[in-house]
Structure 1
Amino acid sequence: MSEGPVNSGALLRAEGIRWTADAGLPGSRDVLRGITLTLHENEACGIVGPSGAGKTTLVTVLAGLLAPDHGDVRFADGTVPGPGDVGLVFQEAERAFFEETVLDDVAFGARNIGLDEPAARERAREALHAVGLDPATFGDRAPETLSGGEARRAAIAGVLVMEPRLVVFDEPPTGLAAAGPERLHDVLRDLRERGVPTLTVSHDLDFVRETCGRVVVLEEGAITWDGPADSLADGLPESWRRNPGDSGGEMALIAAAMVRRGWIGAGDAVTPEALAARWRNG
């Protein structure tokens, strides 16, 4: 699936991206197969797909952390993403805390892009405010004293402090207690209102549908669907319809999300067709 020319609202474009795992070795695998994707200013975009579809590899390429074998990634102004341009919030990013206090850890990114200590700490306070953590309350705390949701938001602040042009979230709800995703909803909604472009990769289709306006479906390293989030049921990968077991835990996560919303009963038959119909009518 390909796209047309970059329009005036474009932010970042990936053109013909290919990447092969273990290239040249027995058992090599084409992870990304000629992906072309344009992300836009002020856009909240999601990427979904079965395990092994290439989602995390794609966002790592977009962030400039992995060079593609073929293809090109550039901002609309023609520049290649450099340090701090794309902020990548990894799965359970809070495990990477290493400073003694939350404020110092968040300020690290600002120091890393050249701000002096007073400016870095002020930027860190602003970033903590942006994710709903009062720096007067949380700034001097040790990171290990935070709850899971608080730690995840502090990790996001550590990316926002660099004021990236695009923020990428890789499985943001992973490992959070029940209330955690709701707080993340608030953070992503606030970023969207502030005009910060975001790209969210998640197996939680409920989370993606509620936090993104556009969703891209990836399967076997290629884009199979790209459209509005409220039409996502039409774009669910064909493999999910053929055999839910092929997608590992994703179908269970989809069903659980729909049970939480009351769209299906806990004892109802769960087939790909039923899920798609319920999603469409939910």
Structure 2
Amino acid sequence: MTATTPAAARAARPASTTAARVSTASRLAARAAGGAVRVFLVLAALFWLLPTFGLLVSSFLSPTDLNKAGWWQALTAPARLTTDNYARLLENETITGSLLSTVAITVPATLLVLVVGALAGYAFAWLEFPGRDWLFLVVVGLLVVPVQVALIPVSELFGAIGLFETTAGVVLFHTAFGLPFAVFLLRNFFAEIPRELLEAARLDGAGELRLFARVVLPLGGPAIASLGIFQFLWVWNDMLVALVFADSAHPPVTVALQQQVRQFGNNIDVLAPGAFLSMVVPLVVFFAFQRQFVSGVMAGAVK
């Protein structure tokens, strides 16, 4: 029978204590992931969606009903709901034209950022050229430049070259300020691609453009989709840049709705459905690419 020395007993004691602590922590974590936490998360999600649901109900109520009582009164009297507001909205050329202007700004600004950002990110990650690292540091430095700093000088520049109050001017502004983050994000993502995979493609005779299109883009799909969602939401919901640079005769929907707020009492039948439609489009885009968005976030976390 072997006697246990005091030193061995002291060495074994912390291990058992640590195991007990780990076991206790595991039990607490398992309980935290149980039904109570799930109920709390569901309630939090419902509370977060409550304003959206209220706006939806308000968009189907007449101004008279909204002035008499809150939107929740329609839940007990569904006969008050009507589609007349949306009919008047579609007849309102200002709002419909604004929705088209927003699409004409958002789609090109998003596509340009994705294309140019992906090409630049690949170049900074895998191409050798003089001053590459210094240029990338400049791109990273541009991330901290606020939009407000560039409003006056860019306005003077656009006025001199004829881009002020044009759709092209707004698209270029959003593209310029979206590219630093796009290049930074995609460069870091592309740099994690195994070098052996790219070298094997080069040995098979693939040029840089073919390598970029056939290997890099499929592997970087989740990151590109995540970037596209961010850029789309930022441009679609922007009002500052649109208010300064967009055509005042055909402003984006954010500016058009802000103009309706000035006459809130008379235009609530247009404001409520217009606001809901402007909010539905980003939600549809997000849920349509939700799987790619989550994959991109998780891939970035693992890397």
Q: Going by fraction, where is helix more abundant, 1 or 2?
A: 2
The structure, 1 or 2, with the larger RCO (C-alpha pairs under 8 Å, 6+ apart) is: 2
Task: With the length of structure 2 as denominator, give the TM-score of the two structures.
Answer: 0.23
TM-score w.r.t. structure 1 length? 0.25
Whichever structure has more strand as a proportion of its residues is 1
